[in-house]
């Protein structure tokens, strides 16, 4: 799954459990970026679209999420979240992910190289971040390390966490506890 995190919080790549994949699929978190969205100002805006295509989904989004989870488990699929957004700070402070780094990450995912790489769990999002990836400086693989002010990162991470949790409430009681357990922790 691809996301464009304008807050500089999500890692450039993270391995997801099937429940995390279902959670992020349902959340559909990304950002509208100038040049790709009509009528948008210069600054990116966070947006949520269930299944990354909410207007085109005729059924309840949890049906599609459950289908995704079933297929992931049935076929032993490795799920990855790739962030093409910002690193080292929010839009205006940090920098956009390098295309060369994103390409290296996609190549590592597709080749299966990242499957066996050591990971560390993010304490808030629970995402499993690789410690190394060929062609990508290891310091950018853990977003908190890229910020000059770690307390500013923590504040922005809490802001994004609250946005994700608030957005997820729209799904009501249709979501399993396993998926809800993949919610970020404040």
The enclosing domain of 155 has a CATH number of 3.90.228.20
* Count: domains in the chain: 1
**Average pLDDT over the chain, rounded to whole?**
89
Residue 37 has pLDDT above 70, yes or no: no
Residue 128 inside a domain? The answer is: yes
Q: Could you give the C-alpha distances from 73 to 28, 107, 137, in angstroms and in order?
A: 20, 23, 32
Domain annotation covers residue 85: yes
Find the domain containing 55 and state its range: 2-176
In a domain, 184, yes or no: no
Inside any domain, residue 133: yes
- At 123 the three-state DSSP class reads coil
Question: Quick one: what percent of the chain has pLDDT higher than 90?
Answer: 64
Would residue 167 count as lying in a domain? Answer: yes
Instruction: Tell me the pTM.
Output: 0.88
Residue 76's pLDDT is: 93
Query: What pLDDT, in 10s, does the model give residues 84-135?
Result: 999 999 988 999 999 999 999 999 999 999 999 999 999 999 999 999 999 9
């Amino acid at each position: 799954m691809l996301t464009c995190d304008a807050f500089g919080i999500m890692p450039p790549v993270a391995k997801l459990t099937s429940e995390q994949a279902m959670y992020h699929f349902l959340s559909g978190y990304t950002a509208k970026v100038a040049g790709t969205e009509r009528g948008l100002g210069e600054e990116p805006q966070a947006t949520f679209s269930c299944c990354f295509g909410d207007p085109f989904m005729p059924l309840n989004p949890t049906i599609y999420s459950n289908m995704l989870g079933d297929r992931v488990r049935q076929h032993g699929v490795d799920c990855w979240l790739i962030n093409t957004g910002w690193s080292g700070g929010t839009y205006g402070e940090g920098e956009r992910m390098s295309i060369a780094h994103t390409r290296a990450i996609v190549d590592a995912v597709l080749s299966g190289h990242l499957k066996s790489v050591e990971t560390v769990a993010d304490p808030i999002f629970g995402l499993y971040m690789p410690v190394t990836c060929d062609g990508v400086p290891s310091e950018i693989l853990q977003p908190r390390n890229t910020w000059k002010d770690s307390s500013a990162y923590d504040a922005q991470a809490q802001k994004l966490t609250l946005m994700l949790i608030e957005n997820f409430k729209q799904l009501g009681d249709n979501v399993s506890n396993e998926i809800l357990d993949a919610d970020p922790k404040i």
